[in-house]
Chain A
Amino acid sequence: MNPETLAAVPARTLLERGLEARIPLPPGDRPLVVTGAWVDAGDPIVEHVRDRRIAEVDVKVAAGSAAVTAPVVGSRWSPPASRRRNETAADGELLAPLPGRSDRWRLATGEHRVQLSSPLRGEVSAVVPGAELRIRAAGPAIRGALSAGASAHGPLELATDPFGELRPGGIDVGRAGSILVVGSRIDAEALTRARAMGVRGIVVAALPGKELRDFQASERRQRASLHAVPPFAVLALEGAVRRPIPGPVTTILERLAGTHVALLVDPPALVFDEAPDDLPLPDPDWVRVRGGPHAGLEGRIVGLAGPRRYAANVQLDAAWVAADGEAPVDVAIGDLERFA
């Protein structure tokens, strides 16, 4: 294949190395790891405060104390050990001093705390108290288009073929703990049932906006409940309009079925913690049509077709694509993607 022809087609990185997962670390939450630490999926990384509130505390350093250091924004604070200890005082994160006071600070604290575990294996690349914690993935990742929920991990399980749709009745408790690949689309009802059955994540080709909104509303209600709920996430690999999962992605998912994966929300991605080095990659001239009248078609690029006229009298640069031994069809280059 002419390299110029390939260069004209936008490339999509199939497997991304060194992806950085971002874990929210709002003021009050306590990081349990430090920059440079190595974490495995399931290791505790953050102590999350579910009922964050502000408390005002005196941060005077005791006279004669050996460690005389000024309080710093973002640092942890604990009530001093004392027989007269105030029962309501709790430890937390120093937010800011009260205006005009250097010894009385606002503290982000709370009573109900849960440990959040790492959704993936990797190295902690940054810890910014009050902002975020970042983990650089050890394994390769497939980026998605959008996601919702909270990052999770579990064994990968293929529930349907790439063109299929998973109905609520098809999800039972036997799928608990797994990350399910469910084909071309899923609705909010099936997502809710999957969460109720203990499924940890859903990977789907497309998630329509209505289903996304319904799921997000349901997820907010779940998170607002009294008890902590296990993480559950949904990842749409392609977008919002129904289409099958791309062939090269399906091939990788089939190869890695049964292994542990991380489903990330920020950025939307599926990380393979146990990926071998010889994952199958498509030929360089293998392309996929992601939009337009031939959406979903996959085949080999034969050559550039030059400017062509399409519906509504729109002129676009095109390329010839041959699929399954059929005669090549011209496809607007903007609708094509190859895999790199």
Chain B
Amino acid sequence: MTEPATEVRPTSEGAFLAIDHGTATVAVALVGRVAGAWRLLGAAQAPAGVDESSVAERLRGRLADADPELAAAAGLADPGSTADLARLRCTTERPPEIAVVAATRRVAGPLADVAATAGWRVRQVVIDGAEILPVATALADPRIGAILAGASDPPGADERSLLAELGAVVTAAAQRRPDLVTVLSGGLATPGGRGDGILPDRAGSTVLAPSATAGGGAPLRRVLDGLRAGEDDGRRALATATATLAEVLRRGVEVVEIGQSGATRALATWSPGGGADLRWASVPAAALLPAAFTDAHLDAITAWLASAPDRLRVRDRLRELSIAPWSDAAGDGALLRLAAARAALTRLAAATRSLDAGRQPPEVLVASGGAWAIAPGPAVGLALADALRRPGVRALGWDHARLLAPLGMIEDPDERRVVVADLRDELLLPLGSLVLPAGLRSGHPGRLTVRGEGEPVEVELTPGGLELVDLPPGERATVELTFRDPVDLGVKSRHAAAEVAGGLGGLIVDLRDVPLRLPDQPDRRRDLLAAWQSAFWAGLDA
């Protein structure tokens, strides 16, 4: 017995454009119907100021030159034929700013944490001990787009006496700026509660939201995310596509996206019959170069540079990178971007730790976003291993065409599933597999056996190092690991076996510390980084 095939809305001439318009770059992918399935025909990225239509035409020209028959079959043989194509388009805007106001730091902290993972830049305002003039000035700042005011439910003893003051300043801010959206959370949003009635004369829009602690913060995050961006928001679409990808692959998928103005982490677990369970967060503070760039950010980036950095010069180059993110992308510029991406990924993992609570890391880890655009695939794989230190065995992929987010814009879940299923082998560039055991003891080497299509490969595993085993894209192998003492590979064991997939970086066995500890001596640290990087970046010295 067969099931009827899901209908896919036909696009013009069997092709469509997928466009991810970011704050720094625009990514355009040309997708066509070939032999009854959707295929990626070409992809390119350009500075955000470049018209996406010209990028699409350039792709079409390359396709027509390389494969005239395919171009003709997709209706793309003639110049200008991309103008009529349907477009799946998502946009990423610069994150707006929200003022998080609470009576005490105890209450403001969790609220700010949730807002900061809902795509907002956060300005925290605590009433306790504050002068009223700076508070009023902060809330009147024209860069503030919304106010999130909250209280415990019921209000704690430390905040009760301050709630009236909180109500007065928030009411005044809303009266001064009727365009502000005011979000009331927790005790301020509970009808009949102690906090109810402290904001009697609210001007503008008011949204009642759950507290920061309810549901691990997810319900409040959803409310704030809904206020942040429009329906074509690229980060929301990326999360949607992550869940669809998990359904199609029937495996857990984690996508980490690093962009110029923000970052996204989406985790989708999959269970038979249960579908995909999605958790995600958007973190402006984990942008490649956050708006509030400090010396700590600079130090975190220079720590990943394999060359001896002149601190002032690095700062100036990063400032240039924020002004013209697409410029100076080769040579040192590429290494600087990847160092900044590593630092951003570390911030993203730290800010979204709550998403991991009680769950094993998903089996597939995907890098996405403009930050990775110019690095070779294996180097992207190493950056993922450097920054995300969670024990286990994972397949690494790269959303190289930035196709995931536009596909998340397909409204019908069935249609989206069909398109993602067709494109599953093309939308992710396989970077290889990462085996990352934790709890290794120095002086206690282990042994790795890789059984693939050829002869078995045996490798001695020395704690503290990185081992690379050649495993090309498309090839699968079984790895067996043996250690003298139990190690953590998701579960603790002396012996473990897993099936792994090949990729551009092959099989990466990462025996370094969890978390990664780099030498304090700058020269030794740089030598080590250079040695690791050169193994993953062919032609680095070219």
Chain A interface residues toward B at CB < 8 A = 4, 7-12, 22, 26-28, 52-54, 72-74, 95-100, 106, 108, 128-132, 145-146, 208-210, 238-241, 290-292, 295, 304, 309-314, 316-317, 332-335
Q: Using Cβ atoms and an 8 Å threshold, which residues of chain B touch A334?
A: 46-47, 324, 326-329
- Chain B interface size range: 35 or more
* Contact status A314-B140, CB under 8 Å: no
Partner of A241, one of B320, B326, B537: B320
In the complex, whether B176 has a CB less than 8 A from a CB of chain A is yes
Q: Is the CB of A312 within 8 A of B540?
A: yes
Smallest Cβ-Cβ distance to A7: which chain B residue = B54
Contact of A27 with B133 in the complex, beta carbons under 8 Å: yes
- Minimum-distance CB pairs A-B, first 9: A313-B539, A311-B331, A99-B164, A310-B330, A291-B328, A291-B327, A96-B172, A7-B54, A334-B326
Contacts of A335 in B (CB 8 A): 327-329
Asked if B34 lies at the interface with its beta carbon under 8 angstroms from chain A, I say no
Binds A, one of B91-99, B118-126, B267-275, B309-317: B309-317
**A145 near B312 (CB under 8 angstroms)?**
no
Contact of B331 among A73, A146, A310 (CB under 8 A): A310
Would you list 6 pairs from A and B whose C-beta atoms are within 8 A, ordered by A residue? A8-B58, A22-B142, A26-B140, A131-B177, A291-B320, A312-B541
B330 touches A312 (CB 8 A): yes
Q: How far is the CA of A87 from the CA of B255 in the complex (A)?
A: 65
A74 touches B319 (CB 8 A): no
- Chain B residues within an 8 Å CB radius of A4: 54, 57-58
Contact A241 B175 (CB under 8 A): no
Do A130 and B176 contact each other (CB < 8 Å), given the known contacts A26-B140, A209-B319? yes
With A and B bound together, what is the CA distance between A242 and B329 in angstroms?
18
Whether B329 contacts A332 by the Cβ 8 Å rule is yes
Contacts known (A99-B168, A128-B177); A313 close to B136, Cβ less than 8 A: no
- Say whether B315 contacts A313, CB under 8 Å: no
Q: Is the CB of A108 within 8 A of B136?
A: yes
Chain B 325-337 per-residue mask, 1 if CB under 8 angstroms from chain A, else 0: 0111111111100
* Known pairs A10-B47, A239-B320; A27 contacts B136 (CB<8 A): yes
Complex Cα gap A99–B177 (Å): 20
Chain A's closest residue to B170 (CB) is: A96
Among B218-237, those with CB < 8 Å from A are none
Interchain CA distance A255-B95 in the complex, whole Å: 39
**Chain B residue nearest to A97 in the complex (CB):** B168
Interface centre among B167, B328, B541 (most CB of A within 10 A): B328
Contact B176 A131 (CB under 8 A): yes
- Residues on the A chain within 8 Å of B331, using CB: 310-312, 314
Given A27-B136, A53-B133, A74-B176, 20 more pairs with CB closer than 8 A: A10-B50, A11-B49, A73-B175, A95-B132, A95-B133, A96-B172, A99-B164, A128-B140, A145-B323, A209-B312, A239-B316, A239-B320, A240-B315, A312-B334, A314-B330, A314-B374, A317-B46, A332-B329, A334-B328, A335-B329
Given contacts A4-B58, A54-B133, contact A131 B329 (CB under 8 A): no
